[in-house]
Structure 1
């Protein structure tokens, strides 16, 4: 590659400078950023485009995500971790990360690419992975990991909340079998309201330990919320449904 001071014309230097401001990372080798932003349509050869960086970035992004999921969810089995990973670093999610940064504004595209005012999601997803690889090559594992965590940490928490809320009872069973050697039982503690509009108060219990209860408009909903409260209690986290 040519040295960075002869890498681009004035317009390209401006684009690279603005991009670095947007992503919050300063490149030691701006030519890596230039490569990450180069779509195949504007490259002299495919090897000069961001495709190779995309290949590397996909693996770096996946490794950082897997590390976080492994640490965040010690009770998850391989299949559960794979499902969460697929949601956290999906093509759609990577495209959204690019949109949050505004990477589409910095892409070098050929004249044959017609965006019709909106950048295709596959191009946005590709450039995010390419950018991850460029940061990895420029600043090493620590820089790439820090950059990735800015995006995937809230995404992991969102996916985790969705997964727990839809599968809380089975998750609680897995945790209690490991921690207590038994499965939870659910107890109806109270019910209020007329027959056509009742509310139910339920608590999960393992052996003699009863976890914080929760209210629900049906017994099923109350059990689900009680399971979520129990999981939060076991993990030392704030209760999602504090009992009134």
Structure 2
């Protein structure tokens, strides 16, 4: 997608519920790194910021909404609500990828990279909302769109790594093994690819902006594979 047309930006602002004073911020939030040789002109820096904005808003919301839960329980909720899966779900709800500026690729590659583009762009848009409108504007968007996700789990969810470990130990298979397959991107916004293996039962890869997030994604992918074979 070429430079975002003004009418397209206006349509997205209607969806976001915020009229940008600096529309260049929103346009940069939509610019994937594959479309520019200058990575600082892509959405990666805004993605870095948006990740922290989302984390703060979700942490504060959970702290207020679940006063009887301990730190570990809140942490499990937090991990699920800030995961790539959650970000992709919200991005898909507002058709965010339709607005993103990405390199032209074939349908198979596009489908394979969808979750990465959707979640990264969602974080970048949150960063842009914060810079243009402040924490109140960014927080209002998060609270509106994450409210249903927060309400889905009456009990704190079990994170994917813990669930996979318990699955493996229940079958006397030992602990899942995690290895770094790749690390790309600049130091301020790296992308890790992690591979997890459970002996004799399967292998899966996951990507994330930190090693921890990538391990969670890999564990979730392997759990999904295992569920299909049960």
TM-score, L = length of structure 2: 0.63
Change beyond 3 A, Cα 1:115–1:40: farther
Partners in 2 of 1:82 and 1:114 — Cα distance? 38
Q: 1:58-84: CA deviations, max 9, x gaps? A: 000000000010111111111111001
How many angstroms does 1:114 deviate by? 3.7
Name which of 24, 27, 32 aligns with 1:31. 24
Query: Does the Cα contact within 8 Å between 2:49 and 2:124 map onto a contact in 1?
Result: yes
Partners in 2 of 1:104 and 1:143 — Cα distance? 21
Alignment partner of 1:76 is 2:69? yes
* Stretches of structure 2 lacking an aligned partner (at least 5 in a row): 159-230
Q: Highest Rg: 1 or 2?
A: 1
* Stretches of structure 1 lacking an aligned partner (at least 5 in a row): 1-7, 167-244
TM-score, L = length of structure 1: 0.59
How many angstroms does 1:24 deviate by? 2.1
Alignment partner of 1:128 is 2:122? yes
Name which of 81, 85, 90 aligns with 1:92. 85
1:38 counterpart SS class: coil
1:43-122 equivalences under 5 Å are 43-111=36-104, 113-116=105-108, 118=111, 120-122=114-116
Change beyond 3 A, Cα 1:51–1:38: same
1:163 counterpart SS class: coil
How many angstroms does 1:115 deviate by? 4.4
1:25 counterpart SS class: coil
1:120 counterpart SS class: helix
Name which of 137, 140, 148 aligns with 2:134. 140
